[in-house]
A and B are shown apart, each in its own frame.
Chain A
Amino acid sequence: MSNIVEINNLVKSYENGHIKALNGIDLTIEEGEFVSIIGPSGSGKSTLLNMLGALDSPDSGSINVAGYDLSSSKDLNKFRAQKIGFVFQLHNLIPNLSVVENVEIPMFTSKMSNSEMRSKALTLLEGVGLKEKASQKPSKLSGGERQRVAIARALANNPSVILADEPTGSLDSKTSSKILKQLIDLHKKENVTLIIVTHDMNVAKLADRVIEVLDGKLVNAGDKSLENKIVVE
């Protein structure tokens, strides 16, 4: 399989270089892989995820995702619209829009007609088991349901990579399991590369590979199992 992510000596610092969030990261991720990124708070894992999604730019080094060189590419909006699907810890749904309209939001960047957008959004909602709640407002949904809408929204533009930042961080354990199952099913069904940042070891160990970040460096980048490893925090 080819690599969908290739990172070489990635450096990112804040506050005029006083805080090194990423300090020489080297990483490759294969297409269709499920990877979890773990590490204590402030270790740089979210910064790494932001770099992968082109929400932040590196100070030095190279980062190539789905064929885009993110350290030099100018068309990052197009990259995010076409290649990346984000799932955040908080669902971040727009409250005055219905569930189906929320799923349509990323499709505004495509050339789809209104009816095509509606049809696709309903199919995606069906995939996460919420088609019957398509016309409801997010406020009428439970926390787990809202996160499932956010997953449907992340899949709206057929992304190559789903980046999930603590997707179950604000959910109870039962709902968390459901959401994770849904994400993993989609990853397998659509062969989408899934990268999850998490504190939760139970979530991390579901991945094909676990990457540990500590003080802006990778301390473990390739093991398939967590045995004899990592004690986070």
Chain B
Amino acid sequence: MSFLKFILKNPFRRKNSAILAIFGICIGIIVIVALGGITSGLVSTFEDTIHAGGADFSISGKETGNSAYGTNTISANWTNIIANVSGVEEVYPIYVVLTSIGDDYMNTLIGINPNGTSMADLGIVEGRIFTDNASEVIIGKVYAKDKNLSVGDSIKIKGENFKVVGIYETGNSNMAGAVFTSITKVGDLMDDKDSISNLYVKVKKGEDPKTVADRIDKLYGENITTVSSVMEMQQMATMLNSLQAASWGISLLAIVVGGLGIINTMLMSVFERTREIGVLKAVGWSNRKILTMIVGESLVITILSAIIGSVIGVAACLLLCPMIGLTPVFNVETFVQAFGIAIIVGIIGGLYPASKAVKLPPTEALRYE
């Protein structure tokens, strides 16, 4: 038997007490993991909207407010103007219109340059991208499922037949049910080649998107607005900071509550095993070894709690978050935080009972009834 196996066996001698301690710490871990998943999910949604997929930010006309793509338009000339601003790498105009598509009296048709689809965060899962100025469309996976459409089918847009050449997936829920074609074709359909809805802007490598957006706001702020404006970023950052602060607050609470629970469990365990600790001293175990044993037992309980709590936290989030329209995102940092707290609680909770055990004179420990 190894020393590790000995440590793993001991915590479950008092099953009820160990289960209670695990339950207490689990609650803290569940909250940390669930809140982490929700926060990351919100960050992801926020980034989808603000950064407009692969773009760093988007530009719209003043009157369109903060909408990522409203139906109000700005002049197509803005494409060249923005492309010449220092720090800008690429600019892709999009033209969003509401028109009759298939049997829908009104749905969203989005025109974009075929090379710019990555800017809109579109990933082709079947078929291909439409070609410029052709009567071809790509449709969202959700839309395709709803309308029972597949690659090769035809769809009528504003009375004109279009061929479905591809199906895309996107992390942006606003675009999942839309139809995309080339911006030239949308201009033809709307008989308006001089208007666009938004511009997707990607900055040069090494440039700070916020600095470039500020630059554009300073130059042309009277006519256009960058969607990822500083204020909006700050508002979102404040909200995320609050969530993160709440997460750390709960973590701190988990440390205190879980720590007290584990101290109680381990103290009981040490008292009940006083005579046994005396024997371990009598057979030559050093104080350090006894301390390692008790802290190790405490860590077994808290790490097990972290594993169970993480599984329940993830499961609860996956089950409940879709009900409020949120997709939770779990990243490594969340689990590092959960396990880090479990380990801290394990060490703190184990040290005090361990120090009690170490201080026990062997003769007294052996006499303990």
Chain A residues with CB under 8 Å of chain B are 50, 53, 55-56, 77-82, 84, 86, 88, 90, 92, 94-97, 101, 104-106, 108-109, 114, 117-118, 153, 156-157
- Listed by A's residue number, 14 A-B pairs whose Cβ atoms lie within 8 Å are A55-B282, A55-B361, A78-B284, A80-B282, A81-B283, A82-B284, A86-B279, A86-B282, A95-B13, A96-B9, A101-B1, A108-B285, A156-B283, A157-B284
Distance in angstroms between the alpha carbons of A222 and B118 in the assembled complex:
99
**What would 9 more interface pairs be, CB under 8 Å, given A50-B363, A81-B285, A157-B283?**
A78-B284, A80-B281, A86-B282, A90-B275, A94-B279, A105-B279, A105-B283, A109-B286, A157-B284
When the two chains form their complex, are residues B289 and A96 in contact, meaning their CB atoms are under 8 A apart?
no
Other-chain residue from A77, A86, A114 in contact with B1 (beta carbon distance below 8 A): A114
> Given A55-B366, A97-B9, A109-B289, are A92 and B279 neighbors across the interface (CB < 8 Å)?
yes
Q: Who on chain B is nearest to A163 by CB?
A: B282
Alpha-carbon distance between A227 and B156 when the two chains are bound, in angstroms? 122
Residues on the A chain within 8 Å of B278, using CB: 92
CB-CB nearest in chain A for B275: A92
Q: How far is the CB of B302 from chain A (nearest CB, A)?
A: 20
Q: A94-B276, A96-B13, A117-B1 are in contact. Are A53 and B289 (CB under 8 A)?
A: no
- Bound complex: CA A133 to CA B279 (Å): 22
A124 shortest CB reach to chain B, Å: 13
A86 to B69, CA, bound (A): 83
> Residues of B at under 8 Å CB distance from A?
1-3, 6, 9-10, 12-13, 275-276, 278-287, 289, 361-363, 366
Residues of A within 8 A of B3 (CB): 108
Give the CA-CA distance A78 to B289 in the complex, in Å. Answer: 12
Residues of B within 8 A of A118 (CB): 1
Residues of A within 8 A of B13 (CB): 95-96
A105 to B12 alpha-carbon distance, docked (Å): 18
A50 to B279, CA, bound (A): 13
Instruction: Say yes or no: A109-B2 contact (C-beta < 8 A), given A55-B362, A92-B275, A97-B9.
Output: no
Which residues of chain B are within 8 angstroms of A79 by Cβ–Cβ distance? 284
Pick from A53, A92, A104, A114 the residue with the most CB of B within 10 Å: A92
* CB within 8 Å for A77 and B362 given contacts A96-B10, A96-B13, A108-B3: no
Give chain B residues whose Cβ lies under 8 Å from the Cβ of A92. Answer: 275-276, 278-279, 366
Within 8 Å by CB of B284, from A50, A77, A95, A104, lies A77
Specify which chain A residues have a CB less than 8 angstroms from the CB of B363 in the assembled complex.
50, 55-56
Contacts of B285 in A (CB 8 A): 77, 81, 108-109
3 tightest Cβ-Cβ pairs between the two chains A and B: A81-B284, A106-B283, A80-B284
Complex interface: chain B residues within 8 A of A117 (CB): 1
Q: Tell me, in angstroms, the Cα distance from A53 to B282 when the chains sit together.
A: 8
**Residue ID in chain B nearest A110 by CB atoms:** B284
For B9, the closest partner residue in chain A by CB is A96
Residues of B within 8 A of A96 (CB): 9-10, 12-13
A224 to B285, CA, bound (A): 36
Asked if B281 contacts A55 (CB within 8 A), the reply is yes
